[in-house]
Amino acid sequence: MNSSNPALRESVFKGTNFGSVTTAEGSSVMTIQGVMAKTSILLIAVTIAATFTWQKTLAALETTGSFGAAMPWMIGGLIGGLIVGLVISFKPHLAPSFAVPYALLQGLFLGALSAVYAARFGESTALGGGIVLQAVVLTFATAFSMLGLYAFRIIKVTEKLRSIIFAATGGLMLFYVISMMASLFGVHVPLIHSGGMMGIGFSLFVVALAAFNLLLDFDFIERGARAGAPKYMEWYGAFALMVTLVWLYIELLRLLSKMRSNN
């Protein structure tokens, strides 16, 4: 069963001769510790790039009263991250070379996006206690909570659970695509952006779904390590975790924004 994270699909491991991989001292095979270490590197890269566009966006707001000057960085990060992410997804062996650039591009996008949300709620001068800090804390709190639930087998990743999460995520992605197409004709779906109870309920569902995707990611990485996947898959696993963490962070920002707007 594939993970619902498209980067962690089962076909990545198919056709790889794990038995031929040298395992001396574990130096040439994928390990869970290696994935975690490389995930830390990617998180640092995201933070550095996000800090840059955060400051640039706020500077543009202060000098011109708009985000115009920062939009190229935001859009460039979004499109560039999408392209690089697709390259890694279809060519996993390129992950060691492209994972960090992907993280930097995502950071450019997230930094500008975060500044936009902060400015919307009058918190553009500092993170302290603001919506961005709350979203960051909740993202890591959720990730560590799901890791604990997985590590202690409080929630077991069964074939049935994989099927349910995979189907729900696929349905959600289809819903987003339909919504984007509808928006081209001036039709906007209130569930995605509205601050009412229905909109908040929808965002809570999406946040929960993103959190459960982390369980599938952990399971996929663990099974890859047990199978003796090549060392470069550590970078691929770290990249895949970043895909889910970025999604979770954005959805938490959206949820917090709706809750504040509804007050």
What is the pLDDT confidence band of residue 1, given thresholds at 50, 70 and 90?
very low
Q: How far is 76 from 261, CA to CA, in rounded Å?
A: 29
Q: How far is 96 from 233, CA to CA, in rounded Å?
A: 8
* Domain region containing 58: 25-262
The mean-pLDDT minimum among 37-41, 76-80, 121-125, 207-211 falls in 121-125
The mean-pLDDT minimum among 40-44, 116-120, 202-206, 239-243 falls in 116-120
Angle at the Cα of 135 from the Cα atoms of 129 and 141, rounded to 5 degrees: 105
Q: Is residue 121 part of a domain?
A: yes
Q: What is the pTM of this model?
A: 0.89
- The pLDDT tens digits for 47-106 are 999 999 999 988 888 888 787 778 899 999 999 999 999 999 999 999 999 999 999 999
pLDDT, position 27: 58
**Which positions ≥6 away from 48 have C-beta within 8 Å?**
104, 107
Count of domains for the chain: 1
Q: Is residue 20 part of a domain?
A: no
Q: Are 248 and 214 in contact (CB under 8 A)?
A: yes
**Chain center to CA of 19:** 32
Q: How far is 127 from 120, CA to CA, in rounded Å?
A: 13
Q: Is residue 186 part of a domain?
A: yes
**Chain center to CA of 161:** 21
Q: Is residue 16 part of a domain?
A: no
- The pLDDT tens digits for 191-202 are 777 778 889 999
